Amino acid sequence: MRSRADRIRHAVAFELIGLILITPLGAWVMEMPMHAIGLVALVGSLIATAWNYGYNLVFDRALLRLTGGIAKSQPVRALHAVLFEGGLVLILVPYLAWQLGIPLWQALMMDLGFVGFYLVYAYAFNWAYDTVFPPPGG
């Protein structure tokens, strides 16, 4: 299992790099001011950071219990990313609707754009992170 410090480093690095990438890209694609997307992205990032820490802890514990280890095959990595993003959609859509004053369906469509980005990003980031910082015994 990864240490608490390692999990914090993982979550913070994931969110900081994601923010740097998504804020200008989101403002451009959605034709919204950078500060509006920046605020939504920052608060969403704080929510996602907490979700990231808790989700990865629970996922690794479940993986350890089911398989006896925490090494992730490529299909498990894909499942990991999909479940992470699915949970985050359930959390963030109501926030987006409230913050931007838009209907839930529009917030969902907006969030699906974020999900598309973060689904690919989460897979790539976690692969790179595990390569640079291999899990103990992994």
Residues sharing a CB contact under 8 Å with residue 29, sequence separation 6 or more, in sequence order: 113
Confidence of residue 137 (pLDDT cuts 50, 70, 90): confident
pLDDT at 138: 63
* Owner of token pair 């990864």: 2
**pLDDT tens per residue across span 66-107:** 999 988 999 999 999 889 988 989 999 999 999 888 899 989
User: Does 11 have pLDDT greater than 70?
Assistant: yes
Of 65, 58, 60, 67, give the one whose Cα is nearest residue 130: 60
Of 43, 52, 41, 40, give the one whose Cα is nearest residue 14: 52
**pLDDT tens per residue across span 13-67:** 998 899 999 999 988 988 888 998 899 989 988 898 889 889 999 999 999 999 9
pLDDT at 116: 86
